[in-house]
Amino acid sequence: EQKDPEQKMFHDTVSEVFSSIVPVLEVHPEYRENKILERMVEPERTVSFRVVWQDDKGEVQVNRGYRVQMSSAMGPYKGGLRFHPSVTLDVLKFLAFEQVYKNALTGLPIGGAKGGSDFDPHGRSDNEVMHFCQSFMTELCRHIGPNVDVPAGDIGVGGREIGYLFGQYKRIRDSYDAGVLTGKRVDYWGSLARTEATGYGLLYFVKNMLDAKGIDLAGKTIVVSGSGNVATYAIEKAQEYGAKVVTCSDSNGYIYDPEGIDLAAVKEIKQVRRGRIKEYVETHPQAEYHEGCRGVWTVKCDIALPCATQGEIDLASAKALVANGVTAVGEGANMPSSLDAIAYFQQQKVLFAPAKAANAGGVAVSALEMAQNSERLQWTFEEVDGRLKAIMKNIYESARKNAEKYADPDDLVAGANITAFVRVADVMLAQGLV
């Protein structure tokens, strides 16, 4: 904290991870002796650059671009690009730090990074987004490559942006390196099942967690927030498992359907028409629409799956869920629960699946996209989905094993942090003073 006192989010996330690993340091003094913690908080490389482009009116625009390459211990740097006005070095450092451990949990050969820009794509034409992406990649291409650093999408960076970024990389480097970016469209060597991976992976993780307690997902009532990529495929898999999902939401409000969410209608509204979730009640008169997002956590359920955004479950929402008898919470979004909400769930013996482990399915399938690109082959949906299922089981089991060894056996927050930390720390020791 003495070095960059203004980077509050980064310091908070470092303290959260490092506080879990105190019992490990007691039995592994070599981590302290070799200054593993001090090394882990210093990115291997950070680049910050000027992005100049021209808008549709001919005006010159200047943005700031970044790439934080936090750790290459386990493989090429890997992590998304975020285009949003809130992007700062602090935000990207905290996301890159988290990414190192999430990626290590997948058991696949990927290091950790994060990047982006304070550019806001909202309200910009396709032409403007393309010009921005081309200028951004003109600098970024010096720092990435299929064996160096493999960016992907994040907030504000979807299939369209990945396409423009890939096109510019290919043009400058004069090389068809399909594996330089992931999240590509399937027709130019993206992976089948990448779209579904985070939502499906969340359900695979939660099912493992419930199975271990002899709890059946079938017949359970589930509250989901969000109606974007993660929420949609979490609902799909939950329904396949025979659970009843009664809510979903967007940034305006939530719907409650006592008969169970009609997912085809949600996809039609959000994916096809790009409409608002409240339109659902026009064709489903039994359902209710409520303005505002927090109310969704007052709906009675057995399982809650926050899949919208960070900070959506505060202590009051956690208390409302527990008062209504929730038995399990699985985080689909990144950091949806506040630290005091997590502590409350754990104190109340609610089974809790932390984001770092439970939503790692997305990046896991991105690593499988890299593998397919290296092979110059494309696997079937079933092959990718089968591997995803096995990866999520493995993440659950390793987190559980370390929770049993070092903490409370049900504390998967500590279990996931410890598993990831030990993997990265041991590899750093093996690779010497780098």
Is residue 333 involved in binding ligand NDP (CB under 6 A)?
yes
Is 359 marked as binding a ligand? no
Find the binder of ligand NDP among 293, 392, 425, 428 (CB under 6 A).
293
> What is the size of the binding site for ligand NDP (CB under 6 A)?
21
Among 88, 334, 346, 394, binds ligand NDP (CB under 6 A): 334
For the four alpha carbons of 115, 118, 119 and 121, in that order, the dihedral sign comes to positive
Spell out, one character per residue from 170 to 209, where the chain touches ligand NDP: x when CB under 6 A holds, - when not. Answer: ----------------------------x-----------
The response to whether 366 counts as a known ligand-binding position is yes
Q: Kindly indicate which of the ranges 86-94, 321-329, 330-338, 384-392 contains the residues binding ligand NDP, using the contact rule CB under 6 A.
A: 330-338
Give me the DSSP letters along 109-145.
S--EEEEEES---TT--HHHHHHHHHHHHHHHTTT-B
Q: Return the closest-CA partner of residue 208 out of 372, 323, 351, 42.
A: 351
209/412 Cα distance (integer angstroms):
10
| Residue 374 sits in the site that holds ligand NDP (CB under 6 A) | no
Q: Which is nearer to ligand NDP, 53 or 297 (CB)?
A: 297
Q: Are 69 and 43 in contact (CB under 8 A)?
A: yes
> How is residue 249 written in tokens?
């939401």
- DSSP H helix total and E strand total for the chain: 17, 12
By beta-carbon proximity to ligand NDP, the closer residue of 210 and 230 is 230
Name the active-site residue from 114, 244, 278, 389: 114
114 has catalytic annotation: yes
| Block residue for tokens 């750093």 | 428
202, burial (CB in 10 Å: exposed 0-12, middle 13-18, buried 19+): buried
Return the HEC string of 321-384.
HHHCCCCEEECCCCCCECHHHHHHHHHCCCEEECHHHHCCHHHHHHHHHHHHHHHCCCCCHHHH
**Is 208 annotated to bind ligand?**
no
Interior/surface letters 299-336, b for 16+ CB within 10 angstroms, e for the rest: bebbbbbbbbbeebbeeebbebbbeeebbbbbbbbbbb
Q: How far apart are the first and last CA of the chain?
A: 22
Residues in a beta bridge with 45: 69
What is the x/- site pattern for ligand NDP, positions 202-241, by CB under 6 A? Answer: ------------------------xxxxxx----------
Binding mask 237-256 vs ligand NDP (x if CB under 6 A, - otherwise)? ------------xxx-----
If the CB atoms of residues 107 and 362 are measured against ligand NDP, the closer one turns out to be 362
**Shortest distance in whole angstroms from residue 374 CB to ligand NDP:** 21
Whichever of 194 and 400 has its CB closer to ligand NDP, that residue is 194
Q: Which of 43, 111, 156, 362 binds ligand NDP (CB under 6 A)?
A: 362
Among the candidate windows 6-14, 131-139, 326-334, 405-413, which touches ligand NDP by CB under 6 A?
326-334
DSSP 257: -
Contact characters 253-292, ligand NDP, x per CB under 6 A: ----------------------------------------
Q: Among the candidate windows 4-12, 71-79, 284-292, 303-311, which touches ligand NDP by CB under 6 A? A: 303-311
Q: Does 309 bind ligand NDP (CB under 6 A)?
A: yes
Task: Enumerate the β-bridge partners of residue 304.
Answer: 223, 329
Is residue 367 a contact point for ligand NDP (CB under 6 A)? no
Our CB check for ligand NDP shows the closer of 55 and 314 to be 314
Confirm if 92 and 66 have CB atoms less than 8 A apart: yes
Eight-class DSSP state of 215: -
Select the residue interacting with ligand NDP from 359, 372, 373, 398 (CB under 6 A): 359
Measured from the CB atom, is 134 or 229 closer to ligand NDP?
229
Q: Where does residue 349 rank: exposed (0-12), middle (13-18), buried (19+ CB within 10 A)? A: exposed
Question: Which residues are documented as binding site?
Answer: 78, 99, 102, 153, 198, 229, 366
Q: Which residues are catalytic?
A: 114
Question: Which residues are documented as binding site for substrate?
Answer: 78, 99, 102, 153, 366
Q: Which residues bind ligand NDP (CB under 6 A)?
A: 198, 226-231, 249-251, 293, 307-310, 312, 332-334, 359, 362
Question: Which residues are documented as binding site for NAD(+)?
Answer: 198, 229
